[in-house]
Amino acid sequence: MTDNQVGVGAADTAAPLVSPVPAIELHGVVKEYRVHGELVQAVKGVTLAIAEGEFFSLLGPSGCGKTTTMRMIAGFEDPTRGTVSLHGGDVTGVPADKRDVNMVFQSYALFPHMNVWENVAFGLRRRKTPEAEIKRRVGEMLAIVDLTGRERRRPRELSGGQQQRVALARALVNRPRALLLDEPLGALDLKLRQAMQTELKRIQREVGITFVYVTHDQSEALTMSDRIAVMNNGEVEQLAGPREIYERPATAFVAGFIGTSNLLTGTVDRVDDGCAVLALGDGGRVLVAGSAHAAGDTLQVTVRPEKITISAERPSGRVSAARGTVEDVSYLGTYTSYAVRLPEGTEVTVFQQNAFDSSTTAEPGDSVWLSWQPHHSFAIGS
Amino acid sequence: MSVKSAPAPVPPAPVPAAPAPARARSGGRWADRLLRIYAVLLLAWLFAPIVVMIVFGFNDTKSKSNVTWQGFTVKWWGRLGDYPELMTAVFNSVTIALLATAITTVLGTALGLAIGRYRFRGAGATNVVIFAAIASPELALGASLLSLFVSTGVQTGYATVVIAHVLFALSFVAITVRARVLGMDPSLEEAARDLGASPWTTFRLVTLPSIAPGVVSGALLAFVLSIDDFVITQFTSGPLTTFPLWIYGAVRQGVPPQVNILGTLIFGVGVVIAITHSVLARRRVP
Ligand SMILES: Nc1ncnc2c1ncn2[C@@H]1O[C@H](COP(=O)(O)OP(=O)(O)OP(=O)(O)O)[C@@H](O)[C@H]1O
Ligand SMILES: [Mg+2]
């Protein structure tokens, strides 16, 4: 596995590559701001290609450059270096009103002095669409977002979810070749958020256009996206499908940012049948399948909490095994979370499903064995 | 469901709640009454001169000075044209105010947008100058303008008064517009651009409607400031006479009742404008 999966070449993914020409292509894009005379790099060389019809997410912590990247695609910012292409044509330096993409703003940015109908018709009016066609398309779009009958309302007379749908309709009615959404569900409560996630996916399938979705919510990105670019500090750390991002994080940052992850460090003892073996204290060991490491290498290995099994006896077979002491047990409904301290001091989190006849119950202070399959250990790039 | 559960919570609520408001009301009664008396006194104090002005427009005065009540008449209303120079002065005041307001509104809106929106070299200095223009004494402003016009050889008159009025009203428009600009979501304009609007269309359809209340307030302020300005006009008018200047000149021989009538008319227009403005303000977009 490569350390830095930035780029067009990330083909080992679930991307529905319909068209050979990417809908959106960033090449070596850098954005610098001058803040109080000091140069700040908000985006540090991002290269990626988004396929036609794809649901693509930019995921990362606050301040990692997601919005800046999206604003360069929309045309609100010009890259300091690098190029932006839409459907094969270089649009670097082209203003926003001349680009065939539309954006849904985090604040919705609905025009407060116009009603719902006028808001949605705004884009079509600018392109001198015939009035009869505007009438038809706006009506259709309001039906899709379930706002028929609210045409005469002003934005402030709508609920947050309704405003969000107006913003979506206002962008989609223009049939852009790509839709950019900057944390569009950020202002909604959890329930509405989940309903809107399903809704957005449905609409995307229905209209079949490319969605670029900015979020800092990992579960949102995992459930909705075809592919995800995980960003950190202005760079793309990993670009892959949701399953791969979750199961095979490429860097320690990705492992830590997506879900809960355990990080173990050790030195390769020997390589056995394509499987690196790291020795842990107290007779424990970690097997890493398919790793290209040699004896003597120091490795960082991640393993997801739900892949680990707890047992009282040392497990047999070709598995990773570690001895530890239970420090904390939290019952969380569908599963129980255990915090287990290894002899070398590392704390490991373990999730055990609360099955009907759950017998593996451990108490704080118990000495237990943890085990997991070799293919659930991942060596990550440093 | 809500119908059934509705009666249940209602009865217990008033029982504990009742004594508290009663006590609060008796305690607040005196404060209420004092506040009302204070408000009435304040309004009386503010309106007394205006009432006197209006009433003395109906005074059947026999002498040149119009200071003692001598009976009711409406005859002065038919004799507004007795003083042609007064009519000219009023005409000058109104046209200067309209002209200055128009120029000030355009320039002040542009200035308000600039200082509210953009960071540019000299933005800080511009802010200081704007507040300095408001804070500086009219006397100083008038005197310095006069010396500027004299030293540059500009003939003082109608044009210089308009220039002077634009100058001192500009800051007020810029400040009211800036307040609206600062309260406006900057992504509104980006959304308009994103939807295909050119910069000019964006300004016309999105920016201007958003800042309109500030522009209107600023324009009204500019008009009111211009029409009754005395000090700066005195310095910059040369041979020109405006309504306030004419009254000042007439004080020595006694102000005729026609002045009261014209004052009443101007006041009436002001009241209409103020009412219109507050009605419009109630319909403002938040
Ligand atoms: N106009 C600007 N001037 C200066 N610095 C900026 C500007 N815009 C963004 N930055 C900086 O660039 C970095 C990336 O900002 P960006 O808005 O892209 O983050 P983000 O990933 O969208 O974060 P969030 O999740 O909080 O919205 C931040 O450190 C920010 O301070
Ligand atoms: Mg952002």
A156–B191 CB contact, under 8 Å: no
Domain membership flag for residue A270: yes
Q: Does B209 touch chain A (CB under 8 A)?
A: yes
The closest alpha carbon to B189, from A110, A12, A55, belongs to: A110
The alpha helices in chain B, defined as continuous H runs, are: 2-5, 14-17, 19-56, 75-78, 84-117, 123-135, 138-151, 158-182, 187-194, 199-202, 208-227, 231-236, 243-250, 257-282
CB contact under 8 A, B197 and A111: no
Residues A310 and A246 in one domain: no
User: Residue A370 is inside which H or E element, if any?
Assistant: strand A367-372
Contacts with A3 (C-beta within 8 Å, 6 or more apart), sequence order: A250, A251, A381, A382
Region B77-98: what's the mean pLDDT? 89
Pairing of β A309-311 and β A320-331:
unpaired
A375/A320 same-domain check: yes
Residue nearest to atom 22 of ligand 1 (CA): A67
User: What's the pLDDT at A19?
Assistant: 53
Q: How many residues does chain B have?
A: 286
* Distance (Å) of CA B226 to CA B94, B102, B246, B267: 9, 12, 15, 14
- Mean pLDDT in order along chain A per 10 residues (382 residues): 40 50 92 90 93 93 93 93 92 90 91 94 94 94 88 91 91 91 83 84 87 90 93 94 89 86 86 83 81 79 90 87 91 89 89 73 88 87 57
Nearest CA among A42, A50, A121 for reference residue A87: A50
* A146: in domain: no
The DSSP output letter for B121 is T
Q: State whether A266 and A356 are in the same domain.
A: yes
A64 CB less than 6 Å from ligand 1?
yes
**Centre of ligand 1 from the C-alpha of residue A98, in Å:** 24
Q: Read off the CATH number of the domain in which A250 is found.
A: 3.40.50.300
The CATH number covering residue A343 comes to 2.40.50.140
Domain that holds residue A38: 10-100+176-256
Q: Which among A240, A256, A272 is the end of a domain?
A: A256
Ligand nearest to the CA of A38: 1
A217 close to A184: Cβ distance less than 8 angstroms: no
A92 and A180: one domain?
Answer: yes
Q: How confident is the model at residue B124 (pLDDT cuts 50, 70, 90)?
A: confident
B12, pLDDT greater than 70: no
- Are A180 and A62 in the same domain? yes
Q: Choose the closest CB to B190 out of A76, A112, A122.
A: A76
User: Contact, A9 vs A240, CB < 8 A?
Assistant: no
Asked whether A279 lines ligand 1 (CB < 6 A), one says: no
Q: Which of A105, A107, A126 to mutate to test the interface with B (most CBs of B within 10 A)?
A: A126
Is the CB of residue A208 less than 8 Å away from at least one CB of chain B? no
Per-residue pLDDT tens over the stretch A86-96: 998 899 989 99
Higher pLDDT, B92 or A333: B92
A58 shares its domain with A184:
yes
Residue B192: half-sphere exposure toward Cβ, Cα within 13 Å: 22
Which residue is it, tokens 């004092």? B34
Distance from C-alpha of A362 to C-alpha of A360, rounded to nearest angstrom: 6
Question: Helical H runs in A208-343?
Answer: 218-224, 242-247, 252-257
Distance CA A178, CA A87 (A): 10
Residue B4, pLDDT above cutoff 80: no
Average pLDDT value for residue range B127-142 = 88
Decide if B210 and A103 are in contact by the 8 Å CB cutoff: no
- The 10s digit of each residue's pLDDT in B242-285 is 999 998 988 888 888 888 898 898 889 888 888 887 887 676 54
Last residue of a domain, one of A256, A273, A292: A256
B208 touches chain A (CB under 8 A): no
Element (H, E) at A215: strand A210-215
Q: Is A313 on the interface with B (CB under 8 A)?
A: no
Reference A369, options A295, A302, A298, A317; nearest CA is: A317
CA dihedral over A54, A55, A58, A59, signed as positive or negative: negative
Going along chain B from its start, the domains and CATH numbers come out as 84-254 (1.10.3720.10)
From A214, A235, A256, give the residue that closes a domain: A256
Q: Which atom of ligand 1 is nearest to the CA of A216?
A: 25
Same domain, yes or no: A339 and A305 = yes
Protein residue with its CA nearest to atom 1 in ligand 1 = A33
Mean pLDDT of chain B: 84
pLDDT of residue B204: 94
Residues A220 and A250 in one domain: yes
Q: Are residues A180 and A274 in the same domain?
A: no
Residue B5 pLDDT more than 60? no
How far, in whole angstroms, is CA A239 from its chain's centroid?
Answer: 9
All residues of chain B having their beta carbon less than 8 Å from the beta carbon of residue A111 are 188, 191-192, 205-206, 209
Task: With respect to residue A16, please indicate whether it lies within any of the assigned structural domains.
Answer: yes
Is A97 within 8 Å of B193 when comparing Cβ atoms? yes
pLDDT higher than threshold 50 for residue B209: yes
Please give the Cα distance from B233 to A209 (Å, whole number): 65
Are A55 and A193 members of one domain? Answer: yes
Do residues A283 and A371 share a domain? yes
Q: Is A208 contained in some domain?
A: yes
Considering only residues B9 and B191, tell me which one the structure prediction assigns the higher pLDDT.
B191
**pLDDT score, position B15:** 40
Residue B8 has pLDDT above 60, yes or no: no
Give yes or no for residue A39 CB within 6 A of ligand 1: no
Residue A210 domain flag: yes
Q: Which ligand is in closest contact with the Cα of A40? A: 1
ipTM for the complex shown: 0.76
Establish if A123 belongs to a structural domain: no
pLDDT of residue A30: 95
Do residues A198 and A232 share a domain? yes
Mutate-to-test residue for ligand 1 from A29, A57, A64, A103, highest number of ligand atoms within 8 A of CB: A64
Query: Ligand 1 center to residue B187 CA distance, Å?
Result: 15
pLDDT of the residue at A358: 59
Chain A residues whose CB is inside 8 A of the B190 CB are: 76, 96, 103, 105, 109
Residue nearest to atom 27 of ligand 1 (CA): A62
pLDDT(B228) > 90: no
Tally of domains in chain A: 2
Question: Residue B199's closest chain A neighbor by CA?
Answer: A97
Whole-angstrom distance, CA of residue B89 vs CA of residue B85: 6
Q: Does A107 touch chain B (CB under 8 A)?
A: yes
